[in-house]
Structure 1
């Protein structure tokens, strides 16, 4: 029995080439329809009026040793009140969250809450961790 090893291939497997062609076709269809989703128009520029975007939330953090931070900057109580007042002048209804350390001085947290009440900040939240369910 004689085995011939130098026999040329009679057929070409075109399955991988067809797979590639189909993938390219799908990509082409998706990209073409994505770029033609609407009519191009020239929109007018807005005036300097207040935007309709939601105001950014201001975070007040109180550490366990009683230091107060507005966002990430350390502030005194008078600085906190003046900065909150200036934010309120720009955006009257801006949200504030208070993050107090679990071992923080309760009096310091009450001072921050008193400042918020004095400025009539109505969107106020207290941050806490979710407790794991008991098993």
Structure 2
């Protein structure tokens, strides 16, 4: 006996699949752009700056208002210490790059440097920009 009004489906409804695909695409785009962007820091310039070629590194940024962040995530000094200890435990040859804003209080940068020394960071570098090349002693 067959139920009246019910007939078997002979095609697949792909609307839910398309909705799911778009939702996953939007989530992927949002997470990727959030991970790529860092903290905006106005770096000081140095004429003898060298490039760091470390495969495993963490970036600590100190903004001009004194906010400290590690890999673009704002943290307190206690959280930074915990994060650095964990990173050094898993990666003994960890390199840390300190990006201090040129207008930040010197005390904040010294607190971060002291903390890095305290936890035993094996390699520490300070980020800077290169000054613009001058056209010679006479200018122009």
TM-score, normalised to structure 1, is 0.58
1:93 Cα offset (Å): 1.6
- 1:1-135 matches, within 5 Å, as 56-135=56-135
**Count of residue correspondences:** 82
Report the 3-state secondary structure (helix = DSSP H, G, I; strand = E; otherwise coil) of the residue aligned with 1:88: helix
Instruction: Considering Cα pairs closer than 8 Å and 6+ residues apart, tell me whether 1 or 2 has the greater RCO.
Output: 2
1:119 Cα offset (Å): 1.3
Q: Is the 8 Å Cα contact of residues 55 and 91 (structure 1) preserved in structure 2?
A: no
d(CA) in 2 for partners of 1:98, 1:75: 14
1:98 Cα offset (Å): 0.3
Mark the structure with the bigger radius of gyration. Answer: 1
Q: Is the 8 Å Cα contact of residues 99 and 128 (structure 2) preserved in structure 1?
A: yes
Structure 2 stretches lacking a partner, 5+ long: 1-53, 136-140
d(CA) in 1 for partners of 2:63, 2:102: 9
RMSD, aligned CA = 1.2
Report the 3-state secondary structure (helix = DSSP H, G, I; strand = E; otherwise coil) of the residue aligned with 2:61: strand
1:55 Cα offset (Å): 5.0
Structure 1 stretches lacking a partner, 5+ long: 1-53
Farther-moved stretch of structure 1 (55-64 vs 75-84)? 55-64
Q: Is the 8 Å Cα contact of residues 97 and 124 (structure 1) preserved in structure 2?
A: yes
d(CA) in 2 for partners of 1:57, 1:92: 11
d(CA) in 2 for partners of 1:120, 1:93: 11
- 1:18-57 Cα distance to aligned partner (Å, 9 max, x none): xxxxxxxxxxxxxxxxxxxxxxxxxxxxxxxxxxxx7521
